[in-house]
Amino acid sequence: MNLVKKTKLFTLEQRAFEALFILVFLLVGGQVPSVAGDVVILNNGDRITGEIVGEEPSKLKIRTAYAGEISISPANVSRVERNTDHAVTVSTTASAMTVPADKIPLGHDLESEAGAVEKEEKKNWSGSANLALKLEDGGSNDDSEIDGDFSLRWERGVQRFRVRGQLEYETFNQIPTKQDWMLDPKYDHFFSDKVYGSLSYSVKQQKYEGLNLRQTIGPALGYEFIANEQTELVSEVGVYYTAEGYTSGTSESYAATGWSLEYRREILQDRVQFYHRHFFFVRADDIKQKTFHTWTGFKFPIYEGLNISTEVELDYDDITLDRTSTLEETIRLKFGFEW
């Protein structure tokens, strides 16, 4: 069991802030323009961003800033999202109709039996909430544990907003022994169909392990390898500025590099979902000091949005925490709801 090691204060805050503000300005200020807010999402998860200029039963035309005008077969298109509220006339061999332009689902054949096109409303918002509860009364011992987490996601056109949160609270004989929570909001801006810039600000507390508050802010560059209903694989690399306050001792701040990854896969004919996500931070002034946080599990749908999941969480921290081991492992059974 390795004991947690403490380090001296790293004092390059001014330069870190200057670099951070420049990167944030480039990210949020929209220095990389997009032609329009129309996004064509293919069956394999690829995104094509541009302006839709024509739609026919045999092809969909989109004008992009990087490849000019592209023609795509509707059979290869999962859906079309627009950043405007105007309507589009879609022609078929049987009839023509006008449908809302915020999202147009396209299948292998634009014709239905009645010659109409199936309409699907755009789903800007999605999210999930999970809860794991443990209550024990063993006579002289009265233990309780509450674990909860949530996620929210909003996207439209080339913009996306994501936020995750988690809470762990434990008592022993009605005395609090654990009070951990974290909140991680992110804003993403897509520069192309797969590449996006991200700006995040996260806060974390592990009160009874010595960490009163950790604040991390910084930009990252992300890449969507796959993004569809069956599979999602997304990764980000960024630079961050971190400030930490402790329950005892001197606060400190430092710069760090980070790598995060999210993976989701529907298996067994959508009866089970496997998921994994993690983030990995390394201090810029001492690469031997790092944090690694990961969640891996299986989710089982029950009915509509209800589900049960089993999860393993690993929290490795050899930078700040005042605990007997640098690695903390948690196994939990969660009840959740998705919308």
70 exposed, middle or buried (CB, 10 Å; 0-12, 13-18, 19+)? middle
Calculate the CA 113 to chain-centre distance: 39
Do 21 and 86 share a domain, yes or no?
A: no
pLDDT on residue 1: 35
- Edge-to-edge order in the sheet of strand 47-55: 68-72, 60-64, 47-55, 38-42, 77-81, 103-105
Backbone angles phi, psi at 25, to 5 degrees: -60, -45
Do 135 and 50 share a domain, yes or no?
A: no
Mean pLDDT of 54-74: 81
Evaluate whether residue 90 is within a structural domain. Answer: yes
pLDDT on residue 247: 83
Range of the domain at 158: 13-27+126-338
Do 163 and 265 share a domain, yes or no?
A: yes
Do 20 and 73 share a domain, yes or no?
A: no
Do 140 and 256 share a domain, yes or no?
A: yes
pLDDT digits (tens, 9 = 90+) for 176-209: 888 899 999 999 999 999 999 999 999 999 888 8
Q: In percent, how much of the chain has pLDDT > 70?
A: 72
Do 334 and 253 share a domain, yes or no?
A: yes
The answer to whether residues 43 and 73 touch, using CB atoms and an 8 Å cutoff, is no
Do 167 and 130 share a domain, yes or no?
A: yes
Average pLDDT, the chain: 78
DSSP 109: -
Evaluate whether residue 32 is within a structural domain. Answer: no
Contacts of 84 (CB under 8 A, 6+ apart): 36, 37, 38, 101
pLDDT digits (tens, 9 = 90+) for 210-245: 888 999 999 999 999 999 889 999 999 999 999 999
pTM: 0.64
pLDDT digits (tens, 9 = 90+) for 263-315: 999 999 889 999 999 999 999 998 888 899 999 999 999 998 999 999 999 99
Do 181 and 93 share a domain, yes or no?
A: no
Evaluate whether residue 63 is within a structural domain. Answer: yes
pLDDT on residue 326: 81
Evaluate whether residue 209 is within a structural domain. Answer: yes
Evaluate whether residue 120 is within a structural domain. Answer: no
Better-scored residue on pLDDT, 13 or 74? 74
Evaluate whether residue 110 is within a structural domain. Answer: no
Tokens 């929209």 belong to residue = 30
What's the structural domain count of the chain? 2
Radius of gyration of the chain, Cα coordinates, nearest whole angstrom: 24
